[in-house]
Amino acid sequence: MAEKKVFHIGDRASFSKTISESDVYAFAGITGDFNGLHMNAEFARHTRYGKRIVHGNIPASFISTAMGMSLPGPGAIFVDQSTKFLKPVYYNDTITANIQLIEARTKGEFYVCTIKGECRNQHGEIVIVSVCHEMISMDEVEIVQDDDED
């Protein structure tokens, strides 16, 4: 059996990606969301955004990527997500999702983790904030609650 990964409350992880036109088109193809605001430059030019914007769930999913690949990583199951979209994300923006492990409760043989996340664009502007919950087996990881007494 592989050694358990150990995490501490307060641990952080991140994931960054530049969102290309092909990313947006692939997402539209998967979801069926071909809204002109995302797909049609002429339509989008006449909106308050002035140009095409990325579907909000593309950068929001980067929070899931950081959780599923890093904190706590493979084996984690997404339970829920509450997300606020604060600013538009445009084609070719580089988005960095930053997450932090805030809390872990036990439920049977699982940890239920509370993760706070935010996405920032290449200008450092916060475009998305989110609170998520995920479950992971205690067989896979150990989560340590550190004492803050120095």
The mean per-residue pLDDT over the stretch 82-99 comes to 98
Task: Kindly list the structural domains of the chain, giving each domain's residue range(s) and its CATH number in brackets, ordered by start.
Answer: 5-144 (3.10.129.10)
pLDDT band at 148 (very low <50, low <70, confident <90, very high): low
On average, the pLDDT of the chain sits at 94
pLDDT attached to residue 150? 46
Question: How far is the C-alpha of 144 from the C-alpha of 89, rounded, in Å?
Answer: 36
Record the tokens describing residue 74, joined without a space. 């493979």
pLDDT in tens, 50-60: 999 999 999 99
Sheet holding 94-107, edge to edge: 12-18, 94-107, 110-120, 126-137, 77-85
Q: Which residues of 53-83 are buried (b: 16+ CB within 10 A; e: fewer)?
A: bbbbebbbbbbbbbbbebbbbeebeeeebeb
pLDDT attached to residue 74? 86
Q: Check pLDDT > 60 for residue 92.
A: yes
Q: Check pLDDT > 50 for residue 43.
A: yes
pLDDT attached to residue 147? 63
Closest CA relative to residue 94, chosen from 75, 121, 67: 121
pLDDT in tens, 121-137: 999 999 999 999 999 99
